[in-house]
Amino acid sequence: MKEEQDAFGREIYAHSSGKDVIEITERDDGFIGTGRGPAAYFAPFEDWLPQEHDAMQFVGGRVLDVGCGAGRVCLYLQEHGFEVLGIDNSPLALEVCRQRGVKNLSLTPINQVSSRLGVFDTIVMLGNNFGLFGDYRGAKRLLRRFHRLTSREARIIAESNDIYQTIDPLHLAYQARNRQRGRMSGQIRLRVRYQTCKGPWFDYLMVSPDEMQDILMSTGWHTKRFLHAPESPLYVAIIEKD
């Protein structure tokens, strides 16, 4: 990502410098939203969501943190003795990670993950980062790649958002528009904005548990269990090899 496009990194860096920052996202239908970040990207373990707490018991071996943001997962796992590599496509986010003490980092978008990074026993995709797969075909392709880059007993710990739990008419209309265009209901096209900086447009995929299981078919992976929190559309899937 070019420096002038790194709106996500700029908001992370501004927050780390003590500035009050609101995360702003723009959807391709013109909807402007605010996210849980950037404070959520810095949250200590005690402030994580309950399902994220529970997910940590399934981490083992060498870990790849996909979309590491400000490094909250990397730092927690480092403190507990794990070897973890954090990857992100934001140079400024990785700089913040370095400043916070993350040891191993790589400027690598999810679609460029390859054998050069080594072999992993756990791939972590918390913070709704199953969405980074982008779309149905991209998810299947990358899951097959992840299968080749991981050990026999490897796991993926992935968080997503069951978008069907919404009753917001704007979101429901967007889902219907997606289906009319041959896209998955939760395939959202958006960009991050910070002050005058506009990030690049990208697809972000949010799925129901049933849709996730459909995506996993024929990729060499299956869901072992789902971790839910009461009255929340966010959930974590524990995914294992077939």
pLDDT value of position 148: 97
The C-alpha atoms of residue 134 and residue 204 are separated, in whole angstroms, by: 5
Q: Which amino acid is at 46?
A: E
Local confidence band at 59 (pLDDT 50, 70, 90 cut-offs): very high
CA atoms within 13 Å, Cβ hemisphere of 4: 0
pLDDT value of position 4: 86
Residue 75 vs residues 103, 162, 198: alpha-carbon distances, Å: 9, 28, 29
Q: What CATH number does the domain containing 59 carry?
A: 3.40.50.150
Local confidence band at 64 (pLDDT 50, 70, 90 cut-offs): very high
Give the mean model confidence (pLDDT) for residues 179-190: 98
pLDDT value of position 230: 85
Q: Is the pTM of this model over 0.85?
A: yes
Give the mean model confidence (pLDDT) for residues 100-121: 98
pLDDT at 179 over 90: yes
pLDDT at 97 over 90: yes
Query: Does residue 32 sit in helix, strand or coil?
Result: strand
Angle between helices 91-100 and 7-16 (to 10 degrees): 30
Give the mean model confidence (pLDDT) for residues 193-208: 96
Handedness of CA 136, 141, 145, 151 (dihedral sign): positive
pLDDT value of position 158: 98
First to last CA, the chain: 35
Local confidence band at 177 (pLDDT 50, 70, 90 cut-offs): very high
Percent of the chain with pLDDT over 70: 100
Local confidence band at 49 (pLDDT 50, 70, 90 cut-offs): very high
Give residue for tokens 């077939």.
242
pLDDT at 101 over 90: yes
Local confidence band at 41 (pLDDT 50, 70, 90 cut-offs): very high
Q: What torsion, rounded to 10 degrees, do the Cα atoms 33, 191, 226, 238 define?
A: -150
Instruction: Give me the domain span that covers residue 203.
Output: 3-241
pLDDT at 176 over 90: yes
Supply the Cα-derived Rg of the chain in whole angstroms: 17
Residue 207 structure tokens:
């799925």
State the total domains in the chain: 1
